[in-house]
Structure 1
């Protein structure tokens, strides 16, 4: 089975975990509603106002299961998971108006730095951080 997945952080091309996306089919650039925070060496997506910049890919069941491991999803246990996969609506791009899955940060965010413009690539350039 194929799944559509919105990515917004270190899984994107040119960033630290891009190899985890090898074998996925690029669908196109996209925006979703939400906000980003800096949680260390990667961003966290939170539900809320604002827009997050990213890309949509198609992945199969096995690839999605591998990504769940990378993102710290504990199947069937949201409380133990670092991220949780949720369905969101695409605001722009080739899949505008359609529902896709994405990883939402699932831990307390006290002390995390907001990424106000919602673009992780831009943010790491601005702060001079390697991905």
Structure 2
């Protein structure tokens, strides 16, 4: 089965975990509603009324299971998971208006720095950090 996935952080091309997306089919750039925070070496997505920039891909079941491991998803145990996969609606891009899955940050956010413009690539350039 194929799954449509929105990514917004270190899984994107040119960033630290891009190799994890090898074999996925690129659909296009997109935006979703939400807000980003800097949780250390990667961003976290939270619900919110801002916009988050990212990319959409299609992945199969095995690839999605591998990404769940990378993102710290504990199947069947949201409380133990660092991220949790949720459905979101694409606000732009080739699949605008469609529902896709993404990883939402699932840990306390006290002390995390907001990324107000919602663009992780831009943010790491601004703060002078490698992904």
Q: TM-score band, normalised by the shorter chain?
A: over 0.9
**Does the residue aligned with 2:87 lie in a helix, a strand or coil?**
strand
Cα distance in 2, alignment partners of residues 101 and 86 from structure 1: 5
Partner of 1:38: 38
Give the whole-Å Cα distance in 1 for the aligned partners of 2:108 and 2:47: 13
- Deviation (angstroms), 1:16: 0.1
Residue of structure 2 equivalent to 1:118: 118
Unaligned regions of 5+ residues in structure 1, if any? none
CA RMSD of aligned residues (A): 0.2
Q: Does 1:20 align with 2:20?
A: yes
C-alpha displacement of 1:62: 0.1
Q: Which residue matches 1:82?
A: 82
TM-score where L is the length of structure 2 = 1.00
Distance in 2 between residues matched to 1:38 and 1:117, nearest whole Å = 12
| Count of equivalent residues | 131
Detail structure 1 runs of 4+ shifted over 3 Å in the superposition: none
- Displacement of 1:113 after TM fit? 0.1
Measured in 2, the distance between the counterparts of 1:105 and 1:83 equals 5
SS at match of 1:14: coil
Paired position in structure 1 for 2:5: 5
* Structure 2 gap segments, 5+ residues each: none
1:51 to partner: Cα distance: 0.1
